[in-house]
Amino acid sequence: MLTTYQALYRKWRPRTFDDVVGQDSVVETLKRQVVLDRLSHAYLFTGTRGTGKTTCAKILARAVNCENPLEGNPCNRCTSCLGIENGSILDVIEMDAASNNGVNDVRALRDEAVYSPAAVKKRVYIIDEVHMLSKDAFNALLKIMEEPPEHLMFILATTELYKVPATVLSRCQRFSFKRLPPEVISDRLSYIALNEGLKLTQDAADLLARLADGSMRDGISFLDQCSSTENITAEHVRSAIGLAGRVETERLLRCVISGDAAEALSILDRLYTDGKDVAAVLDELGALQRDILLTKIAPKGGWGLQSGGYDSATLKDIAALITTERLMSDIETVQSALSNINAGGNRRIAAELCIMRLCGTKSSDSLPDEAPKPRAKEPDKKPKAKAEPVREDVTEPVARPVEKPPVPQAKATVTSQATACTWDDIIRAVKSRLNPIDFMLLSDASHAEGEIQNNTVIIRAKSPFDLSSLDKKEIKAAVKAAAEDILGGTVKVIVTDAASKQEASEDKLDALSKFGNIKFK
The CATH number of residue 128's host domain is 3.40.50.300
515 falls in which pLDDT band (50, 70, 90)? low
| Residue span of the structural domain in which 50 resides | 8-177
Give the chain's domain count.
4
321 within domain boundaries: yes
> Taking 50 as the threshold, does the pLDDT of residue 414 lie above it?
no
Report the mean per-residue pLDDT for the chain. Answer: 81
What CATH code is carried by the domain that includes residue 218?
Answer: 1.10.8.60
Same domain, 452 and 338: no
Mean pLDDT of all residues in 462-481: 83
Give the pLDDT band of residue 376 (cuts 50, 70, 90).
very low
Please tell me the predicted confidence (pLDDT) of residue 375. 45
State the sign of the Cα–Cα–Cα–Cα dihedral 488, 491, 497, 498: negative
Q: What is this structure's pTM?
A: 0.60
Which of the four pLDDT bands, split at 50, 70 and 90, describes residue 308?
low
Comparing 206-220, 328-342, 398-412, 428-442, the range with the smallest average pLDDT is 398-412
Fill in the amino acid letter for 291.
D
- Tens digits of residue pLDDT in 163-215: 999 999 999 999 999 989 888 999 999 999 999 888 999 988 988 888 888 89
Residue 91 included in any domain: yes
The pLDDT of residue 393 is: 45
User: pLDDT band at 517, cuts 50/70/90?
Assistant: low
- pLDDT score at 377: 46
Where do runs of H (alpha helix) occur along 12-124?
Answer: 24-36, 53-65, 79-86, 103-113
Mean pLDDT over 103-118 rounds to: 86
Is pLDDT at 379 greater than 80 in this prediction?
no
Task: State the DSSP H helix or E strand holding residue 481, giving kind and residue range, or none if neither.
Answer: helix 473-487
Length reported for the chain: 521
The three state secondary structure string of 96-126 is ECCCCCCHHHHHHHHHHHCCCCCCCCCEEEE
| Weakest-pLDDT range from 137-141, 182-186, 326-330, 383-387 | 383-387
Would you give the DSSP letter of residue 458? E
Question: Sorting pLDDT into bands at 50, 70 and 90, what band is 307?
Answer: low
The number of angstroms, rounded, from the C-alpha of 460 to the middle of its chain's C-alpha atoms is 30
DSSP string for residues in 284-334: HHHHHHHHHHHHHH-TTT-GGGS-SSS-HHHHHHHHTTS-HHHHHHHHHHH
The CATH code of the domain that includes 414 is 3.30.300.180
Mean pLDDT value of segment 254-278: 88
Alpha carbon distance 158, 153 (integer Å): 17
The answer on 152 and 263 residing in a single domain is no
> Is it the case that residue 236 has pLDDT exceeding 60?
yes
In this structure, the number of other CB atoms found within 10 A of the CB of residue 292 comes to: 27
Q: How far apart are CA 78 and CA 67, in angstroms?
A: 6
Same domain, 35 and 166: yes
Percent of the chain with pLDDT over 90: 28
* Domain match, 300 and 415 both: no
153 φ, ψ to 5°? Answer: -140, 135
Q: Which pLDDT belongs to residue 51?
A: 92
